Amino acid sequence: MSKSESVFEMALEQLGDAAQRLNLNASTLRVLSHCERELTVALPVVMDDGRIEVFTGHRVQHSSARGPCKGGIRFHHDVSIDEVKALSMWMTWKCAVVNIPYGGAKGGITVDVTKLTKNEIRRLTRRYTVAMLPIIGSHSDIPAPDVNTSAETMGWIMDTVSMFRGSTVLDIVTGKSIELGGSLGRREATGRGVMFNALELLKRVDQAPSETSVSVQGFGNVGSVSADLLQKEGCRIVAVSDVSGAYYKEDGLPITDMIEYCKSSQNGLLDGFDAPGMTKISNTELLELDVDLLVPAALEKQITEKNADKIKAKFIVEGANGPVTPVAEKILLSKDKYVVPDILANSGGVVVSYFEWVQSIQSFFWDEDEVNRNLKRVIVNSFKSVWEMAEREKVDLRNAAMMIAVDRVARALDARGIFP
Ligand code: GLU
């Protein structure tokens, strides 16, 4: 893999920038540039027709300096160890910037879920869970949903661990269904966090939500909820997309109907959805639309040096992890755009994961208002710290967020010392 293709290189570059501004000592930077633990496993699965397929799975723990490792598991055909390493490092910074007591981890299986039946995915998930048993744990590494995984997947993981332990373990995963001790508000939490971040940014630049047009790339858990909640706050959602294409309507899309449609559509996609006045555009056109706010909520590396100078949106709020490459970000910043970085913008999910974990440990559950109120408090305060750091240090929002996060992790490392 060439350097420019590596997502982990991109994560290292962002760390290097923050380390330089923080004057971080070389030893600490060396430690933080490595992932603590990487586990790659072969996962044989009996397919419905009796054939045995073997899939590859990973779990990477980047840092446990500030607490147990935390992070989602994604099922995607592009999953690689390089990507999982980058995502695990971003989880470390994400948990640190919002100051929740976790380190960072991530997991993934290289699989095209559209080619498997539900039973096959369930067996694959259970096999992956058992393969990861030596390193996951309620107080060491707690998985959660990510791309193409959901509350249902978490239920299978929780059940598998419980079968092996001989008793029901609630705090081994977050993002569980409510029936299994999940938290109210967790499913919507990442999108709700995106919305809070967008509103905080708009407030700082004196722009009313009612005068803000938005395009959202991705209509999964993050994109759909972000679009829905931003619309409820008065924004005009002119375009959304998923792998079936992009959908455009100048005076605003019927987001509620689109979400409803996806509940029973093939693979949960928008394919076949129709509404008066709506047209289909390409994913490239969606990214380059003349809107105020762009929420990339799909995968990494969507805005690169190839399309950065065509992006017209003034505000970019990263619903996905790593959608803007460092070179692209420099181009955007040179045109006075604002990029709310992933580690802050999409942190709502892991913040409510933390609330869920606390509730699971205590077996004492909060109402939805309490969850949402606490989420808002964490996001609003974190945004404020990042904004103030950016102004004080005269840096962009990613650098500011990274400086806060890396500094917190470095201090924890320093306080603990290096074993032995
Ligand atoms: N996968 C989500 C993320 O990237 C959530 C992780 C979690 O809740 O642990 O932030």
pTM: 0.97
Q: Could you give the C-alpha distances from 221 to 48, 130, 148, 339, 379, in angstroms and in order?
A: 28, 26, 9, 21, 19
Instruction: Return the H-helix or E-strand segment holding 30.
Output: helix 26-32
- CA 279 to ligand 1 center in whole angstroms: 33
Q: What is the CATH number of the domain that holds 300?
A: 3.40.50.720
Please choose from 350, 351, 354, 359 the residue to mutate so as to test ligand 1's pocket, defined by most ligand atoms within 8 A of CB. 350
CA–CA gap between residue 379 and residue 371 (Å, rounded): 12
- In this structure, the residue with its CA closest to atom 9 of ligand 1 is 71
CB 176 within 8 A of CB 140: no
Asked, for residue 350, whether it belongs to a domain, the answer is: no
Domain shared by 105 and 244, yes or no: no
CA–CA gap between residue 100 and residue 94 (Å, rounded): 9
- In DSSP terms, 170 is beta-bridged to none
Domain shared by 164 and 196, yes or no: no
- CA 67 to ligand 1 center in whole angstroms: 15
Number of structural domains in the chain: 2
- CA 355 to ligand 1 center in whole angstroms: 13
Which residues form the pocket of ligand 1, taking CB atoms under 6 Å from any ligand atom? Answer: 70-72, 94, 144, 146, 174-175, 321, 346, 349-350, 353
Query: What letter does residue 114 receive in the DSSP assignment?
Result: G
Q: What is the CATH number of the domain that holds 83?
A: 3.40.50.10860
Asked, for residue 354, whether it belongs to a domain, the answer is: no
- pLDDT bin (cut points 50, 70, 90) of residue 2 is low
- Among the ranges given (4-13, 203-212, 217-226, 279-288), the one the predictor scored with the smallest mean pLDDT: 4-13
- pLDDT bin (cut points 50, 70, 90) of residue 5 is confident
Q: How far is CA 68 from the centre of its chain?
A: 18
- List the catalytic residues: 106
In the chain, the percentage of residues whose pLDDT exceeds 90 is 99
Domain that holds residue 137: 35-180
**356, two tokens:** 């869920």
Domain shared by 204 and 338, yes or no: yes
Q: Where a domain ends, among 314, 345, 376? A: 345
Q: What is the mean pLDDT of the chain?
A: 97
CA–CA gap between residue 123 and residue 144 (Å, rounded): 18
Q: Where a domain ends, among 330, 345, 360? A: 345
- CA 304 to ligand 1 center in whole angstroms: 24
- pLDDT bin (cut points 50, 70, 90) of residue 220 is very high
Q: Where a domain ends, among 308, 325, 345? A: 345
Asked, for residue 361, whether it belongs to a domain, the answer is: no
CB 220 within 8 A of CB 245: no
CB 238 within 8 A of CB 255: no
